[in-house]
Amino acid sequence: MKIITIDKDVRSGCVSILTNMLLKEYKELAHDSFKLNGNFEGQRGVITKSAVATRIRKRMQDDFCLGAIFPQVVLGIQSDSDFGKKLKEGEEYDSKEIFADCIISIIDGMQRSNIYFKNFEGNENRKIRVEFWVAENSEKLLYRMLVLNTGQTPWNTRRQIEVIYGNLSRNIERELYNNYPELKEKIDIYGIDDGKYRTQAGKYHKSSVIELYLGFNIRNVKINVTDELAEEYQRFDMMESIDKKNSFDIFICILGMMCKLDLAFSKYCKKSEVQGQFSEGKDIFGSSTANVGFVVASAEYIMGKISVERTEEVIVGKKEKYQKQMDLILAELEKNVSMNEDYLSLDVLNTRCMGLPKTRIGDEMRLLFKDAFMAMLKYDDIEEISSLEDFWRE
């Protein structure tokens, strides 16, 4: 492996190492990752169910066998930012030795790798271009993958959700429990194959948590998780938010507060006299409309609207104020469990929901909850409020 260039991506703090290597060396390095669909959950594997893809692959194969040079494959490496300092441009290294302790992922080039490996015999000593994208965490690799797919056949929302789920869901759970250890025995985030469904507070489907992450990133309650992301601005809003320093920590803080609020609401068991979606306290966060409304309101409170560029100092101050206000809200909920069983005012909430326009009712309910939770966060004297009725009427 010969190093061509080593460049620092100033924006993300990642390192790009562009190399030339023999195909046999690349196979030793990346073949196991290739067999695992890139070793990066959510990465598209080799496209096989498309006649167009088949024709393109045949053309690529013919071109490669005739000596064509393909653009570099990009391999993701998770390591610290000093990784590139031990390498020098123009020097040759043993790639297996350099990357011996690294987790390698193919973040761009699955189709090219397929051509390389299927035509390996006779081409073992062909030189190919390989770029190593060295990042400190999987979020930076995710960002790079999204960038590489911009301008190509767009991913639909389901695929983007799968990618984000694959690389962030474990981090979300781990960091949630690290930051809020008291929630570990009370919260369950389960997958579609687990055969579970919500019967009580603190139970959330993984896909719902990812929907919350999308809402947090774009700070917009109108998220259609089945439509394709045809509007490029939404893709870039999401990528820029992923790239923002400390944004993931803020999301974990908001998610933790949502879980606490869900558990606090669930202690109110009096049935609503008005028939509707919210029969008792545990039903509020059983609705994705309330979940998204809370997360978007919280993100906007701390970070501002999507076009706003707050300084880190301002964001830290807003986050501290947010946590204090949430502590006050949770304390009031705890105090009123025994004092005022109508504190949640579910009759008012159900009546208000029934009066919303039936067209795009989901979006209307998300806006209702966003406005209600934003009003709670901004109300300085939450102790003087006798019930949540005033906020549901916002």
Q: What per-residue confidence (pLDDT) applies to 233?
A: 42
Contact 168, 138 (CB under 8 A): yes
Rounded CA-CA distance 141/143 in Å is: 5
Question: Do residues 33 and 39 make contact, with C-beta atoms less than 8 angstroms apart?
Answer: yes
Residues 6+ apart with CB under 8 A from 349: 272, 276, 278, 284, 388, 392
State the Cα–Cα distance between residues 332 and 260, nearest whole angstrom.
13
- For 114-147, what is each residue's pLDDT tens digit? 999 999 999 999 999 999 988 887 767 766 766 6
More confident residue, 323 or 164: 323
Report the pLDDT value the prediction gives residue 230, as an integer from 0 to 100. Answer: 38
- The residue length of the chain stands at 394
149 in helix, strand or coil? helix
Report whether pLDDT(42) > 60. no
**Total-model pTM:** 0.62
Lowest-pLDDT choice from 7-21, 27-41, 189-203, 351-365: 189-203
Element holding 21 (H helix, E strand): strand 14-22
Q: Rounded mean pLDDT of 318-342?
A: 94
| pLDDT at residue 304 greater than cutoff 80 | yes
How many whole angstroms separate alpha carbon 29 and alpha carbon 45? 18
| Two structure tokens written together for 164 | 């984000």
C-alpha distances in angstroms, 211 versus 164, 174, 288, 289? 10, 18, 9, 11
pLDDT mean over 229-257? 66
- What's the pLDDT tens digit per position in 59-84? 888 999 999 999 999 998 888 767 77
The runs of H, that is alpha helices, within the chain are 23-35, 51-65, 95-98, 110-118, 138-149, 157-179, 206-218, 232-243, 247-265, 288-303, 312-339, 346-354, 361-378, 389-392
Task: Compute the distance between CA of residue 328 and CA of residue 377 in angstroms, rounded to an integer.
Answer: 10
Distance from C-alpha of 205 to C-alpha of 190, rounded to nearest angstrom? 5
Structure tokens belonging to residue 167:
């690389």
pLDDT value at position 143?
A: 67
CA pseudo-torsion sign 357, 358, 363, 365: positive
Distance CA 387, CA 69 (A): 69
CA distance 371 to 356: 14
Asked if 97 and 1 touch (Cβ cutoff 8 Å), the reply is no
Q: How far apart are CA 10 and CA 122, in angstroms?
A: 40
Residue 224: what pLDDT?
A: 58
pLDDT digits 0-9 by tens, 199-213 = 789 888 877 888 888
Q: Is 38:54 a contact under the CB 8 Å cutoff? A: no
| 143-173 as b/e: b if 16+ CB within 10 A | bbbbbebeeeeebebebbbbbbbbbbbeebb
Please choose, from the candidates 28, 126, 124, the residue with its C-alpha nearest in 3D space to the C-alpha of residue 75: 28
Report angle CA 212, 79, 217 to the nearest 5 degrees.
15
Are the beta carbons of 283 and 349 closer than 8 angstroms?
no
